[in-house]
Amino acid sequence: MPAASYSSLPASPAAAQRAGTEQLRRHSLALVLSALREEAVLSHTALSERTGLASATVTAVTGDLERLGAIERQDQPASGGRGRPRVLFARRRRFSHAVAVQISSDALHYGLADYGGTMIDRFSRPRDIAAGTPDSLLSDMGEAIARLIQRSRLEPAEVGAISLSSKGIVDADGGRLVWSPVFGERSVEFSALLEHWPAATLFVSNETLLVAHAAARKRMAESPAEGGAGLIALSLGHSIGLGIARIEEGQFSVSAPNFGHMLNAVDDRLCRCGLRGCIEATAGFYGILRIAFQVPPNTIPARFVPLTEIEKIALSARQGTRMAQHAFRQAGLALGQGLSRVLSLHENLPVIVTGPGTRFYDLMQPGIEEGLRQSLHVRLNGLPKMTVVTDESSLVFAGHVDRALTAVDQRVVGLR
């Protein structure tokens, strides 16, 4: 019999029972850890109610997690000073930590969160676009992460996860950036960062995927009884990003299709990816700049356009300059046409609009709605609900922390 066939042999009843019992225990551990991440402090009774676990099971699970050091007890004095203190449980903040790094075109933003999900340190550093290379980026990031950890006086083993995000195309499984506006097809192998933090799990995510993740988590917390639904996150700026979250039966899944570089029109507008007719070639900051100043559409795009330059064009548009108004309307039209295709595949999901480009949303909105209405799906079902959320960075870091701490939780469950 080939060796591979042994895995198909049925387990003994005793072994199957042990495996089932261990799986059930791990599930119970995960439920308690998740509940304590959503609600910082919970009593024994509240944990039982939130998780649906029996009181005896909660006692066993909390005992296991205390022994592992993942949670701690907090005694609350009894009401009126009489009787036994009330026992509350919370995640032990120093049990593990997550490093989050948001890689944008002109800067890198660093954050450090404890096991309770509290952001305890943040800082940003400018990025050298002209002279930067993948190796120099890794070197700068390694130095900055070391500084972040040293500032909180942590040991390398106390870092449980390092979560990185960027616009562009990422290989999440391989831990690398495949394509980006700054480096093009020169990939960045982020796995090299783990040399100094061997206890950490590495995550590399598309930035707008994290926005959709955090927005979906927030929506579920605010409306836990909501059934099958979801949302679309559209990020406007130097790059154009899109994330899709599908929510169903209290769970959600997130994806980030390569929306900005989806072919939108057969025209000569050159994109930073080297192709022509992409949504971003019209709706990204460099696309708006090129149209506003009537630069030939096949001109090689700038790798980075300062926000102040787009603000000048926006001011001109609001003062009635037709070419500036046209540039923003064309950007909106490309976005609306792209969104209409997404909605045709994913139903009429609500859309949250984020990113630095939201400050120009009023100028793009007419074009967005015009592009959406060109779709039969939208004409039959109406325009989707669109909400502007200006603080994109908070959503990005919330997505980082939630995904990273979930991974630490899974490792804790595995340790048990």
State what percent of residues in the chain have pLDDT above 70: 92
- Rounded CA gap, 84 and 78, in Å? 6
Check pLDDT > 60 for residue 2.
no
Is the pTM of the predicted complex or chain greater than 0.85? yes
Give residue 7's pLDDT band: very low, low, confident or very high (50, 70, 90). Answer: very low
Question: pLDDT, tens digit, for every residue of 56-66?
Answer: 999 999 999 99
3-state secondary structure 257-296: CCHHHCECCCCCCECCCCCECECHHHHCHHHHHHHHCCCC
Domains and CATH numbers, the chain: 13-91 (1.10.10.10), 95-210+395-415 (3.30.420.40), 222-391 (3.30.420.40)
List strands edge to edge, sheet with 41-43: 41-43, 86-91, 71-76
Closest to 97 measured CA to CA, from 214, 200, 194:
200
Burial 318-337 (b: 16+ CB within 10 A, else e): eeeeeebbebbbbbbbbbbb
Q: What is the mean pLDDT of residues 86-115?
A: 95
Check pLDDT > 90 for residue 247.
no
In this prediction, residue 215 carries a pLDDT of 94
In this prediction, residue 6 carries a pLDDT of 33
